[in-house]
Amino acid sequence: MSLLTVGSVAFDAIETPYGKTDKIVGGAGTFIALASSYFEKNQNIISVVGDDFPKDTLDDLNRRGIDTKGLQVKEGEKTFFWSGKYHNDMNSRDTLITELNVLENFDPLVPEEYQDSEYLMLGNLSPLVQSTVITRLNKRPKLIAMDTMNFWMDIAMGDLEKTISMVDLLIINDEEARQLSGEYSLVKAARLIRGMGPKILIIKKGEHGALLFVKDEVFFAPALPLEEVFDPTGAGDTFAGGFMGYIASTGDLSFENLKRAVIYGSAMASFCVEKFGTERLLDLKNEEISSRIERFVRIADFDMNVLVK
Amino acid sequence: MSLLTVGSVAFDAIETPYGKTDKIVGGAGTFIALASSYFEKNQNIISVVGDDFPKDTLDDLNRRGIDTKGLQVKEGEKTFFWSGKYHNDMNSRDTLITELNVLENFDPLVPEEYQDSEYLMLGNLSPLVQSTVITRLNKRPKLIAMDTMNFWMDIAMGDLEKTISMVDLLIINDEEARQLSGEYSLVKAARLIRGMGPKILIIKKGEHGALLFVKDEVFFAPALPLEEVFDPTGAGDTFAGGFMGYIASTGDLSFENLKRAVIYGSAMASFCVEKFGTERLLDLKNEEISSRIERFVRIADFDMNVLVK
């Protein structure tokens, strides 16, 4: 199988209660591609950076099997830059700087070699860029998934609704689901959002796990209770990457397998938050992933073998 | 086995986005005893009401097998009254009125017949009243559980710490766990709180489920994603009641059985929020409980039968 990721490859500068970074490599596309590379070996990425982007990082991506033919390098331009500071609870953050740079006029060209991609993950980006990629693919992938954020609901709701109507799976967080639907109840929100197009919906709830809605079924996925979250940046993208990597590698869209993919995504996200940026995703051992999965199985396991009296 | 519940039996007046009640019957003790009565048939309650309390409600309790010898009726005094209004998100509320009335000088007398109670549930009350009951029991119950709230942390932290040190199990919500420990991370909070005495800790997270900490184990219990929460009043008490009723009826304190008890507690709480006050807890059918339990099993079920590649 093969997975095509569309998403930003960027610089982040992050401040958390645990420390502070200079410009480090981030971006939704980077987190998604790295996380999914642990499952699906046939990886393509469409993105754009400036000539200030480190060659070493492209090598890191290539070393993880990610083809970067679709990653445009714009001479004389600068890479997208985001800077943010997390509050003490790690659940909220202030954006300090956003410099769109190369993303401002990003034209997502699809290399001929990517045309046969079987799975497509559209990371958080302008909904117009996301839908452009879909229309430029000659053949519809087996599953098209997308992420988005409040920002696009505020400034481009029409474009966003159009793009959402074109995808099979939407992956957003609880706050975004509430804003998108105008409903506080996530069950009601899920019904309205799936009415907008996506057959499958995942609502991420951070430390509270995730909800997967497929047909008439709901899956309540656990999260690992963590001692501490060092840096939450990219955790949502990493979830999406683990999820789509697992789906692409198995090619199985049954409810049972989608649930497994949610657990793999959650496990990958739990690694992501242990260090700044992508650091924890560059060199994970398969045994680390397996033992993390076992922890998910263990904390969520119960057996109602006794009947109600 | 037998369960002794200590907790308020009271009047509530509730306003939610769905409607408004006059004075209806509420109180932690009422919710706990009603919920636990579906599991453990040998039920005792220690509480106090005024002579304004409806005889019909005492009959309701007796009909559910709850012995009310320990429920003092104070002639010429008024029952505890609480009035509150929930915000649109149903996760926060304003207290409009609190009239302690009979609770102000509550002396929790233990009827001789209650001395052999094997399980003790101390509902949210003054920590001095809670500890008084423990010291008045001639024989220590097999499990002593307690609930509390922020209010007591604010005005009686010393008494509260002393009472907490005397119990086996503390059942509180996430906000309370954070305030009690001064730690935002629930894993760290749990460690500190268990250091205060209780071997077992349950942190309730409302729509996000619950965490059970026992020895080195953690269980992440799901919550049912609900279409709507009609009235959350008493949901936490109902959880505690379902939990303790199941524990008392099985007499099994293994981790596996404590997990089951959390699921039964969660199921009972999911009924409680469907109607105002105790209404939904007066006449549940065993089949309703069983099929609710099946829903918990189904939404949380996953099977990682495929190895990481």
The rounded distance, in Å, linking the Cα atoms of B87 and B17 is: 7
Q: Do B227 and A186 touch (CB under 8 A)?
A: no
pLDDT band with cut points at 50, 70 and 90 for residue A89: confident
Which residue from B88, B222, B301 is facing A184, i.e. has the nearest CB?
B88
CA distances from B135 to A49, B163, B233, B287, B288 (A): 70, 10, 30, 39, 39
Contact partners, residue B306, CB within 8 Å, separation at least 6? A250, A260
Chain B residues with CB under 8 Å of A307 CB are 290
Contact call for B302 and A263, based on CB within 8 A: yes
End-to-end CA distance of chain B: 50
Nearest to B14, CA basis, from B233, B270, B304: B233
Q: Which residues pair with A67 in a beta bridge?
A: A44
pLDDT one-digit tens code per residue, A13-69: 999 988 899 999 999 999 999 999 999 999 999 999 999 999 999 999 999 999 999
Mean pLDDT value across residues B94-101: 94
The pLDDT mean for chain B works out to: 95
Residues 87-116 of A with CB under 8 A from B: 88-90
Tell whether the torsion through CA atoms of B178, B182, B187 and B193 is positive or negative.
negative
Percent of chain B with pLDDT over 90: 94
pLDDT at position B17, please? 87
The Cα–Cα gap between B15 and B142 comes to 39
Instruction: Collect contacts of A131-134 with beta carbons under 8 A, ≥24 apart.
Output: A131/A159, A131/A162, A131/A163, A131/A166, A132/A107, A132/A108, A133/A6, A133/A46, A133/A108, A134/A163, A134/A166, A134/A167
Mean pLDDT, range B165-179, rounded to an integer: 97
- Mean pLDDT along residues A118-130: 98
pLDDT at A309: 43
Q: Which residues of A touch B230 (CB under 8 A)?
A: none
Nearest CA in chain A to B301: A219
Spatial contact of A189 and A216, defined as CB atoms under 8 Å apart: no
Under the banding of pLDDT at 50, 70 and 90, the label for residue A88 is confident
Q: Which domains does chain B have, with CATH numbers?
A: 3-300 (3.40.1190.20)
The Cα–Cα gap between B201 and B169 comes to 6
Question: Which positions in chain A touch B289 (Cβ < 8 Å)?
Answer: 308
| ipTM greater than 0.85 | yes
Q: Do A152 and A127 meet the contact criterion of CB atoms below 8 Å apart? A: yes
Establish, for the pair of chains A and B, how many residue pairs have beta carbons separated by less than 8 Å: 129
More confident residue, B97 or A92: B97
Q: What is the mean pLDDT of residues B65-85?
A: 97
B252: contact with A, CB 8 A cutoff = no
Kindly report each contact of residues A193-201 with a partner whose C-beta sits within 8 Å and lies 24 or more positions away, as own/partner: A193/A164, A196/A161, A196/A164, A196/A165, A197/A164, A197/A165, A197/A166, A197/A167, A198/A164, A198/A167, A198/A168, A198/A169, A198/A170, A199/A168, A199/A169, A200/A168, A200/A169, A200/A170, A200/A258, A201/A169, A201/A170, A201/A172, A201/A177
> How far is the C-alpha of A154 from the C-alpha of A217, rounded, in Å?
30
The whole-number average pLDDT for the span B188-193 is: 98
Task: At B22, list the tokens.
Answer: 């006059």
Euclidean distance between CA atoms A73 and A46, whole angstroms: 11
* Nearest by CB: B308 against A88, A186, A293: A293
Residue whose C-alpha is closest to residue B121's, from B215, B217, B20, B5: B5
| Residue A232 φ/ψ, nearest 5 degrees | -75, -5
Q: Which of residues 16-55 of B touch A (CB under 8 A)?
A: 38-39
Least confident span in A81-95, A181-195, B189-203: A81-95
Cα separation, B225 vs A188, in Å, equals 10
Residue B309 has a pLDDT of 43
Cα of A113 to nearest chain B Cα, Å: 25
Q: Which ranges of chain A would DSSP assign to H, the alpha helix?
A: 28-36, 55-63, 127-136, 150-155, 157-165, 174-181, 186-195, 235-250, 255-272, 286-300
Distance, CA of B130 to CA of B248 (rounded, Å): 19
pLDDT class of A287 with cuts at 50, 70, 90: very high
Q: Does B306 touch chain A (CB under 8 A)?
A: yes
Whether residue B306 has pLDDT greater than 60: no
Structure confidence at residue B25 (pLDDT): 97
> Chain B: nearest CA to A230, how far in angstroms?
11
Q: How crowded is the C-beta side of A309, counted as CA atoms within 13 Å?
A: 13
Select the residue of B205, B263, B286 nearest A302 (Cβ to Cβ). Answer: B263
Q: Give the torsion sign (CA, B294, B296, B299, B301).
A: negative
* CB–CB contact A88 B286 (8 Å): no
Across the range A215-240, mean pLDDT stands at: 95
Residues of A numbered 50-79 whose beta carbons fall under 8 angstroms of chain B's beta carbons: which are they?
none
Name residue A97's beta-bridge partners.
A83
Residue A79 clears pLDDT 80, i.e. is over it: yes
Structure confidence by residue, pLDDT tens digits, A245-268:
999 999 999 999 999 999 999 999
Query: CB contact, 8 Å: A223 with chain B?
Result: yes
Residue B182: closest CA among B156, B200, B157, B147 = B157
pLDDT at A17: 87
B238-275: string of b/e by CB count within 10 Å (b at 16+)?
bbbbbbbbbbbbbeebeeebbbbbbbbbbbbbbbbbee
**H/E stretch holding B294:** helix B286-300
Mutate to test the interface with A, among B42, B217, B258, B302 (most CBs of A within 10 A): B302
Q: Which amino acid is at A205?
A: K
> Which pLDDT value is given to residue A92?
84
Interface check A285 vs B, CB under 8 A: no
Tokens of B3: 């369960």
Cβ of B226: how many Cβ atoms within 10 Å?
16
Name the residue in chain B with its Cα closest to that of A286. B308
